Amino acid sequence: MITPLAVTAAESWKSLVQGRSGVGLLTQIDRAPFNSKVAAEVKNFDPALYLKPKELKKTDRFVQFAVATAHMALADSKLDIPKEDPYRIGVLVGSGIGGLRTIEEQHKILLTKGPGRVSPFLIPMLIVNMAPGQISISFGLKGPNNCVATACATGSNAIGDAFKIIQRDEADVMLAGGTESCITALGFGGFDAMKALSTHNDAPETASRPFDRTRNGFVMGEGCGVLVLESLPHALKRNAYIYAEIVGYGMTSDASHITAPDPTGEGAARCMSVALKSANITPSDIDYINAHGTSTPMNDKVETLAIKKTFGESIARKIAISSTKSMTGHLLGAAGGIEAVACVLAIRDSIVPPTINYRVPDPECDLNYTPNEAVSRKLRYVMSNSLGFGGHNACIIFKAFDA
């Protein structure tokens, strides 16, 4: 993981468990013109550790995040790439928005200096598929290579689709997740104009407050999360350390509104049900849900309703739920990737990360959101929800690996 909390998975996870916030005052652009003045920005990231100087000039920040995170994930997996079949290793990393930073910079150059000064690398720098493309180039991975762009469901869809590729025996290994970096004047301004962003500017660390009655918008973030997925025979053959299994995946559409979730929660509920059926388990098997939990008034209310519809009131109240977005902010296309990493680490450590900044209960959000402090709990089945603009819903189910 590269997150607003830290630039490694280990440090990011430590901060999540401790309930630290990665949110602060917006610094990447002038915050004065905007209603919201807070963001969850990545600090202390050095892309030169992972990319050569010539490559740095040809890659947007969201691609740099992806390549760096892939480096770390592969190192952690201890895959010996030169000894592997490159045609059996693929990449499926998505981005919701892509190279908006590059678009803005080059558009200014077009207007001030003319078309002759526009970078010849403009197009390959801005297209969203360059994240998996550059990863495959960096490591010589010639298997399935694809990119998902389903807004805030992107990371989860990428991991779920990669899971299916391995199930179909089209690859032994897939690098999968999501990446995003679009805290720019245009990107931030667009969400600000929608009134989607938190305006709790006086205390930035508390601005993201999922399921709390005083929530008034999400905190825009950036970062990347990548998992190394492997077929079980391949992992066992090389004696890999296995964090967890992916056992279920669902995706549905609300077919309701371009930005707002279906107010009945039907699409999200059906998505969770599809994932449960895919995993061949019952609602009572789920121990923890990493909720989409954006901190917007509508999302948190609808997701709560959808969980109740899927699990029934009595089971829903027994499940530990939390939104790590309370600490990382909302990383858009990268959210599902980072939250998937959080889920497998939660299984490994038998701990549920908290929903911080939960102070004022909302009668319409009345489930167990693990308020403010992590809880130790043995976790066998864990669910991760991602709900995106356009009505895209994605759900992944992880299971503790039983050798």
Look at residues 289, 155, 287 and name the one whose alpha carbon lies nearest to residue 224: 155
Would you say 209 and 358 are in contact if contact means Cβ atoms under 8 Å apart? yes
Which amino acid is it at 124?
A: P
The CB density around residue 108, as the number of other CB atoms within 10 Å, is: 10
Query: Is residue 247 left, alpha or beta, with left meaning phi > 0 and alpha meaning psi from -120 to 50?
Result: alpha
Burial class (CB in 10 A: 0-12, 13-18, 19+), 150: buried
In 238-364, the DSSP E strands lie at 245-253, 288-290, 320-322, 351-352
Where do we find the tokens 């607003």?
4
Query: Would you please indicate which residues are annotated as catalytic (active-site) residues?
Result: 152, 292, 330
- Looking at residue 390, the DSSP 8-state letter turns out to be T
Phi-psi region of 44 (alpha: psi -120 to 50; beta: other; left: phi over 0): left
Which distant-in-sequence residues (6+ apart) come within 8 Å of 355 by Cβ? 210, 211, 293, 321, 322, 323, 326, 369, 370, 371, 372
